[in-house]
Copies of this chain bind each other. A is one copy, B any other.
């Protein structure tokens, strides 16, 4: 089972995901996420690996399942969106049954904190080039901005690639106004949440790291009081 933990706090994990963890004999996950569910792990075997240990974690999890264990691989947010669902299916190769249990993804958690920036069509793009060529990522940013999508940026910045977010902003400025609202949310629904609503012009003035989700508006997005709002188009 590949299980979505949601954004991080216990109030945002689904009953189906909790039941899956409770029923498992082995729980596998990145150690930071394992800590979030520490109280549920008593009596279970643990397979905790480091941040870039996805392949190792998937191999160990499938190995345990082949030995007859009921394994829960936990993944933050929704395991089907930049999470562990894919690699588990790839490694399992049909040798053990795989079930994916969805969760609240970071885009939804960040959007809820900002108000309603995702009420119209949006594109979700990871700025990490560890697994996707940077040229492909840049092309997608260009296409999404050309199509006037709201753009959700996952993994917006890390030490290895501090400039990706700057280049992404420049590409979007080819199509989007500098006044386009931008929401920056750190640790959405994971405790100590921080949020900023700024503009495409000024977004680099704020701290952006790997715990941050960035949402860039479309041509209709506006600031409404304390909220970032992309109107759906209702006539009021």
Contacts and interface: CB of A to CB of B under 8 A. Distances in A.
Interface of A: 4, 6-7, 10-16, 19, 54-55, 78-83, 85-91, 93-94, 98, 100-105, 108-109, 111-113, 115-126, 130-132, 136-137, 139-140, 142-144, 146-149, 189, 224-227, 229-236
26 contacts: A4-B108, A7-B102, A11-B16, A55-B235, A78-B108, A80-B108, A81-B111, A85-B119, A86-B115, A86-B232, A89-B116, A90-B224, A90-B231, A94-B224, A100-B113, A102-B104, A102-B108, A103-B104, A104-B108, A123-B147, A124-B124, A132-B233, A139-B148, A140-B147, A143-B147, A143-B149
Contact of A116 (B85, B120, B231): B85
Contact of A118 (B54, B81, B104): B81
A189 B111 contact: no
A122 B12 CA distance: 23
B115 A227 contact: no
A145 to B, nearest CB: 9
